[in-house]
């Protein structure tokens, strides 16, 4: 058994809190390089600690003093590993909502319904939608209009929603993502609205209701059912995609 194999839970805590010397950090990082699951957990801890430090940093226009005081108390409490795992997700949301950061994501968000921070796969959905618009204007890129749910499921392990019969499929494409292939389908709805339906396995299990947000130059609605997450994107803000999202979501049951 090598020295790398003797990593303890307290070593991870010290690594996150930057309490190890160079040799200690190298030992932990060597271990994490061989254990992806532990590495993902430690990275989540580091992200949480960084967000707390940002919340505690002096920022004249970033929230009320009681918000920073609450973050300070939470940071002290998180020193215990048992409380860290239980509180990290709730703490991140609470601090960010109080600081008012959730309305300024990298996507150019103008308004987020219920102050919900869009997950990473929504950014992927927007990029896939934009790519599909580029493809649509290129005669050299033939469109694939066959929406075969069983074929997609067999190839990607992604269950696609059943589309209304009066929706027209313009293109179906497979895109890479962090946890495997994703599916982007360009669709024209009954009223002529051009949207993209995006589906991906985000790497975690959840059951999330439909959420909606307006971007600087688009709109998105998303939800998650089990191990697959879905999003529909429109290039026109304020299109109102919640009804379409609910319709597609209900077809999966």
- Based on the domain organization, do 133 and 236 belong to the same domain? yes
In a domain, 202, yes or no: yes
Higher confidence at residue 241 or residue 59? 241
β-sheet bridge partners, residue 241:
none
In a domain, 105, yes or no: no
HSE value, Cβ hemisphere, 13 Å, CA-based, for 93: 9
- Based on the domain organization, do 90 and 118 belong to the same domain? no
Please determine, for residue 110, whether its predicted confidence score (pLDDT) is greater than 60.
no
pLDDT at 25: 82
Q: Which residue range is the domain that position 128 belongs to?
A: 111-250
Mean pLDDT (the chain, rounded): 76
In a domain, 93, yes or no: yes
138 confidence band (pLDDT: 50, 70, 90): confident
- Based on the domain organization, do 120 and 245 belong to the same domain? yes
pLDDT at 192: 83
b (16+ CB within 10 A) / e for 121-133 = bbebbbebbeebe
- Based on the domain organization, do 187 and 129 belong to the same domain? yes
Does this model's pTM top 0.85? My answer is no
CB-CB contact of 124 with 132 (8 Å): no
- Based on the domain organization, do 173 and 65 belong to the same domain? no
- Based on the domain organization, do 70 and 125 belong to the same domain? no
How many domains would you assign to the chain?
Answer: 2
Angular region, 192: left φ>0, alpha ψ -120 to 50, beta rest: left
If DSSP states are collapsed to H, E and C, what string results for 66-129?
HHHHHHHHHHHHCCCHHHHHHHHHHHHHHHHHHHCCCCCCCCCCCEEHHHCCCCHHHHHHHHHH
- Based on the domain organization, do 85 and 144 belong to the same domain? no
139 confidence band (pLDDT: 50, 70, 90): confident
Q: What is the CATH number of the domain that holds 184?
A: 3.30.200.100
In a domain, 104, yes or no: no
Please determine, for residue 135, whether its predicted confidence score (pLDDT) is greater than 60.
yes
Most confident of 13-27, 84-98, 133-147, 188-202: 188-202
Please determine, for residue 221, whether its predicted confidence score (pLDDT) is greater than 90.
yes
pLDDT at 158: 94
- Based on the domain organization, do 17 and 127 belong to the same domain? no
CB-CB contact of 199 with 182 (8 Å): yes
- Based on the domain organization, do 158 and 197 belong to the same domain? yes
pLDDT at 76: 55
Percent of the chain with pLDDT over 90: 27
pLDDT in tens, 166-183: 999 999 999 988 888 999
- Based on the domain organization, do 66 and 185 belong to the same domain? no
In a domain, 106, yes or no: no
The C-alpha atoms of residue 100 and residue 135 are separated, in whole angstroms, by: 37
- Based on the domain organization, do 141 and 89 belong to the same domain? no
Of the candidates 121, 120, 42, the one whose C-alpha atom is nearest the C-alpha of residue 81 is: 42
- Based on the domain organization, do 77 and 160 belong to the same domain? no
Q: Which two tokens stand for residue 30?
A: 């060597």
pLDDT at 173: 93
b (16+ CB within 10 A) / e for 211-229 = bbbbbeebbbbbbbbeebb
């Amino acid at each position: 058994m090598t020295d790398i194999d003797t990593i303890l839970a307290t070593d991870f805590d010290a690594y996150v809190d930057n309490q190890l010397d160079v040799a200690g950090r190298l030992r932990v990082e060597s271990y994490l390089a061989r254990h992806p699951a532990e590495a993902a957990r430690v990275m989540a801890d580091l992200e949480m600690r960084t967000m707390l430090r940002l919340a505690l940093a002096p920022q004249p226009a970033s929230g009320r003093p009681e918000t920073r005081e609450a973050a300070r108390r939470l940071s002290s409490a998180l020193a215990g590993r048992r409380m860290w795992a239980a509180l990290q997700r709730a703490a991140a949301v609470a601090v960010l909502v109080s600081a008012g950061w959730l309305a300024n994501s990298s996507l150019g968000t103008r308004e987020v319904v219920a102050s919900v921070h869009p997950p990473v796969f929504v950014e992927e959905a927007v990029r896939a939608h934009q790519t599909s618009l580029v493809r649509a204007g290129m005669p050299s890129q033939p469109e694939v209009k066959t929406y075969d749910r069983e074929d997609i499921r067999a190839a990607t392990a992604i269950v696609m929603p059943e589309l209304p019969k009066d929706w027209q499929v313009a293109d179906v494409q497979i895109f890479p993502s962090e946890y495997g292939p994703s599916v982007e389908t360009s669709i024209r709805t009954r009223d002529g609205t051009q949207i993209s339906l995006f589906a991906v396995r985000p790497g975690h299990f959840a059951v999330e209701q439909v959420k909606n947000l307006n971007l600087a130059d688009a709109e998105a609605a998303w939800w998650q059912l089990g191990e697959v997450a879905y999003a529909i994107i429109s290039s026109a803000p304020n299109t109102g995609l919640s009804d379409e999202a609910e319709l597609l979501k209900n077809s999966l049951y």
